[in-house]
Amino acid sequence: MSETRYKTLRDVPAEEYLLPGSPECAGCGAQLVLRIFLKALGGDAVLVNAAGCLTLLNVYPYTPLKLNWMYTAFASAPAGAQGIRDALDILIEKGKITPKEDLKVVTFTGDGAAYDIGLHAASGAIARGLDFYYLVYDNEAYSNTGFQTSGATPFATSTKTSQPTTLNPIGHEGVKKDLFEIWRSHKPPYIATIAPSHIVDMLRKIERALKYRGPKLFIAFSPCPPGWGSDTSETVRISKLAVETGVWPLKEAIYGEVRHTFIPKVLKPVEEYLKTQERYKHLFHPRRQEKVIKTIQENINQYWQKVREKEKLE
Amino acid sequence: MLKIRFHGRGGQGVKTSSRILGRAAFLDGYIAQDSPIYGAERRGAPVVAFTRISREPILERGYIFDPDIVIVVDETLLDDERARPLDGVKSGGIVFVNTQSEQAQVENVDDKLFIKYSITDAALRVIGKPIVSSPSAAAAAKITGIISKESIIQATIDELSELGLAEEALERNLRLVSEVFDTIPTPQLKILNGETTPREVIQLEYKGVIYEDIVNVGNASLRRVGNWRIFKPIVDYQKCTGCMLCFVYCPDSVISLDAKNKPIIDYENCKGCLICVKECPLHAITAVREVKIYA
Ligand code: SF4
Ligand code: SF4
Ligand code: SF4
C-alpha cells in the first residue's frame, strides 16, 4: 500500500489522550482500542458517545480524557455528531474559528448502540455523507448491564439472556449481524475492522481514513473479561487468536471495495479461540458439542474460502 | 436482629457473600434478608451488600447504617473516601478485615473488635484464584456465632450451583469455606446500648466541586485505581530490551517510557490486569502479590 508513518510498534505515538484512573474494568479491550485510536487521530478531536460501558469514563467529577466529550441517548450518537459537525462548520463560516482550529468529530459507541439501538441513526448519517468518525467497540453483548445478548452476539455464545439449558444447550441461537456489510451497502468512503492485538494494522487504517471526507467507520474487536469470562491478562492474546483463527477478519472497504489487510495462511482451529472464554465453556463441558463446534468452524472456513477465491480472481 | 454489612470491590462478589450468609441463616431457622448496592461503575469500584438476620419478621429495609458486624473484603477500602466501611459500626461491634495476615488476629481498637485474616491468600492456596465471596460469607457466619457449619456449607452449595459453578470449582470453594469457618474465632458481640459510631459527614468544599474540576482534563488519575490490584507487575530492567510492547498494550496508559524506551509503571493507577506480564516477549515483567495500599 501507500506511504505510511506506521511501520512497527515503535511508531505508536507517545502522546496519551486517555489518561490513567478510569473506572473501566482491568484489562478492558474496548478501552485499549479507544486509547490507541485517539493516539492515531491526534488531539484535535471532539468525542460523541452513546450509552454503554465507555460512558462511565466520565463519572462526575472525574475524567481520564483530555478531549471534549458529549454524551447522547442510546440511539443518537451519530445525530449528536451531526449537530457538532454543523456547529463547527457554522463557526468556521462565520470566521469565529479558523479552519486550522477545526476538530474531527468522533462518535464511539458499543455494539448495542451500533448494531441495534442506533443502527438507523448511523445509517442516516452515512447516507447524508456526514464527515465524521465512528468507532464501535464490539464486545458482542450488552456488557454495561451485565452481558445480555445483542445483535453482535455470535452464534452459540452464552450470555445472561442466552444461557445454555438442557432444552437448548447451544446458548445464543441467532447469528452475529454483519455490520460491516450493512454499512458497506451505503458505500461510505471508509470502513475497517480492527483488533487491539494488531496495532500497526489499526494505526495504518486510521491513517488512511484521515484522507477521506465523509463517514469513516471502524468496528473494533473488544475482549471484555467479565462478560466473556476470560482472564484480564488474556485480552490481547484472545484478540490475536480471533484474528489467527479467522473469527475476526481484518479488512477495509473504500467506497465499498473490500480488501483484507491480513489473510491467515493457515487458519488455526477455532477451538483454540473458544477455549479461552467461559462464554463458550458449555461447548466443551460437561459434554463436547461436536456439531455446534463444527458449524462454527465451517462458517469460518466458508468465509475464508470465498475471500481466497476472490483474491485469486484478482 | 443482627445486621451485617459487606464492603468489597466490583467483581469480588460481595453480593454473593451476603446471599450465602442470608441463606445459611434461613437454613438455621432464622428470618433473613439480603441485598446489594452498586453504582454505575465497573469492576473495582466500591460495592456494598447487606444481610439482616432475625428471629422476628424483618420490617427494616435498605441500607444498613448501624451494622453489628462489618466485613471488609478489600482492605484498601479502609482508606477510600467513597466507601468508608467503618461508618456507623455499633460500639461493641466486630469488624473483619481481609488483610495480609496468614493467621487470624484479634485486637481491640476503641470499642470495637477487629479480626484480621487473609482470605485472599487462603483462596489462592485452596482455589488457585483470589475468590473471596464464599469465604467472606463463611467468616461472617462464624463471627455471628449463631450459624452452623452445615448450613454455611449447604448455602454455599445452593448459591454457587445456582450461579452455574462447575463441580470441581464448587468442591474447592467448599474446602475453602470450611477452612475459613474453622479458622475464624467467634468473639462475643458486646453491643450494649446500640450506640453507633457517629457518621462523619463530608463537607464538600464548594469551590472544589464546581466546574473547574471537570475542565481539569485527565483528573481521573486522582482516583488512584491502583487499589484494585491483587498482583503487581514488576519490571526486571536487566532483562528488558525496551521493545515498547508493554507500553503499547497497557489499556490504562499507566506505562510511560524513559529515554531508553524502558517502561515506568505508575502504580497509583495500574489496575493489575497483567496484560504487560503476558505480552512481554522477554518475560521481563513478573506478577508479585500486592502488599501495599495506594489510597
Ligand atoms: S464490562 Fe467489558 S467492555 Fe465494559 S468496561 Fe468492563 S471489560 Fe470493558
Ligand atoms: S498490569 Fe495492566 S494496568 Fe498495570 S501496567 Fe500492566 S498492562 Fe498496565
Ligand atoms: S515488553 Fe518487556 S522487554 Fe519490552 S519494553 Fe516492556 S518490559 Fe521491556
Are A201 and A262 a contacting pair, CB within 8 Å? yes
pLDDT tier at B203, thresholds 50, 70, 90: low
Residue B90 C-alpha cell reads as 455499633
Q: What is the CATH number of domain B220-289?
A: 3.30.70.20
pLDDT tier at B41, thresholds 50, 70, 90: low
CA atoms within 13 A on the CB side of A166: 0
Determine the pLDDT at residue B193: 58
Beta bridge partners of A275: none
pLDDT tier at A311, thresholds 50, 70, 90: confident
pLDDT surpassing 60 at residue B212: no
Dihedral class, residue B13 (left if φ above 0, else alpha if ψ from -120 to 50, else beta): left
Domain boundaries, chain B: 2-183, 220-289
pLDDT surpassing 80 at residue B210: no
Contacts of B38 (CB under 8 A, 6+ apart): B10, B15, B45, B47, B48
CA torsion sign for A72, A73, A74, A78 is negative
Domain encompassing residue A155 = 21-313
Helix, strand or coil, per DSSP, at residue A14: coil
Determine the pLDDT at residue B295: 39
pLDDT digits 0-9 by tens, B229-255: 889 999 999 999 999 999 999 999 999
The mean pLDDT value for B42-69 works out to 91
d(CA B95, CA B72): 7
pLDDT digits 0-9 by tens, A217-255: 999 999 999 999 999 999 999 999 999 999 999 999 999
DSSP label at residue A115: I
pLDDT tier at A312, thresholds 50, 70, 90: confident
pLDDT surpassing 80 at residue A182: yes
Question: Nearest Cβ partner of A21 from B222, B272, B279?
Answer: B222
Task: Report the complex ipTM.
Answer: 0.96
Helix, strand or coil, per DSSP, at residue B214: helix
d(CA A217, CA A122): 10
Using an 8 Å CB-CB cutoff, list chain B residues near A27: 251, 271, 273-275
CA A177 vs CA A43, A151, A224, B54: distances in Å: 33, 6, 19, 51
Find the residue in A nearest to B217 (Cα).
A66
Helix, strand or coil, per DSSP, at residue A46: strand
Domain count for chain A, please give it. Answer: 1
Q: Which ligand is nearest to the CA of A22?
A: 1
A181 falls within a domain: yes
Question: Nearest Cβ partner of B221 from A19, A23, A163?
Answer: A19
In this structure, which residue's CA is closest to atom 8 in ligand 2? B250
Identify the H or E element spanning B275.
Answer: helix B275-279
**Angle, in degrees to the nearest 10, between helices B149-162 and B133-144:** 150
pLDDT digits 0-9 by tens, B145-164: 999 999 999 999 999 998 87
d(CA A246, CA A239): 11
Q: Which atom of ligand 2 is nearest to the CA of B279?
A: 7
Contacts of B205 (CB under 8 A, 6+ apart): none
pLDDT digits 0-9 by tens, A260-285: 999 999 999 999 999 999 999 999 98
Euclidean distance between the first and final Cα of chain B, in Å? Answer: 34
The mean pLDDT value for B33-38 works out to 89
pLDDT tier at A25, thresholds 50, 70, 90: very high
Dihedral class, residue B224 (left if φ above 0, else alpha if ψ from -120 to 50, else beta): left
pLDDT surpassing 80 at residue B143: yes
The CATH number that applies at residue A103 is 3.40.50.970
Residue B283 C-alpha cell reads as 518475560
Q: How many residues does chain A have?
A: 314
pLDDT digits 0-9 by tens, B70-125: 999 998 898 887 788 999 999 889 999 999 888 889 999 888 999 999 999 999 99
Determine the pLDDT at residue B190: 77
A14 falls within a domain: no
Q: Please indicate whether residue A82 or residue B213 has the higher confidence score (pLDDT).
A: A82
pLDDT surpassing 80 at residue A94: yes
CB crowding A38-52: b at 16 or more within 10 Å, else e: bbbbeeebbbbbbbb
d(CA B145, CA A268): 56
The CATH number of domain B2-183, selected from 2.30.40.10, 1.10.540.10, 3.40.920.10, 3.40.50.300? 3.40.920.10
SS3 content of chain B, % helix, strand, coil (to 5): 35, 20, 45
- The percentage of chain A sitting over the pLDDT mark of 90, rounded to a whole number, equals 94
Interfacial A residues in 159-218 facing B (CB < 8 Å): 163, 196, 199
Ligand 1 within 6 A of CB of A225: yes
pLDDT surpassing 60 at residue A212: yes
A7 falls within a domain: no
Per-position DSSP letters for B144-208, written without gaps between them: HS---HHHHHHHHHHHHHHTT--HHHHHHHHHHHHHHHHHS--PPP---S--BPPPPPPPPPHHH
A136 falls within a domain: yes
pLDDT surpassing 70 at residue A313: yes
Ligand 3 within 6 A of CB of B244: yes
pLDDT surpassing 60 at residue B206: no
Determine the pLDDT at residue B202: 63
Ligand 1 within 6 A of CB of A36: no
Are B112 and B126 a contacting pair, CB within 8 Å? no
d(CA B48, CA B291): 23
pLDDT tier at B207, thresholds 50, 70, 90: low
Query: Cα(A223) to centroid of ligand 1, in Å?
Result: 8
Using an 8 Å CB-CB cutoff, list chain B residues near A232: 271-275
Please tell me if residue B46 touches chain A, with a CB cutoff of 8 Å: no
A6 falls within a domain: no
Using an 8 Å CB-CB cutoff, list chain B residues near A16: 253
> How many CB atoms within 10 Å of residue A230?
20
Residue A314 C-alpha cell reads as 484478482
d(CA B78, CA B76): 5
Per the CB < 8 Å rule, is A63 touching B218?
Answer: yes
Determine the pLDDT at residue B204: 58
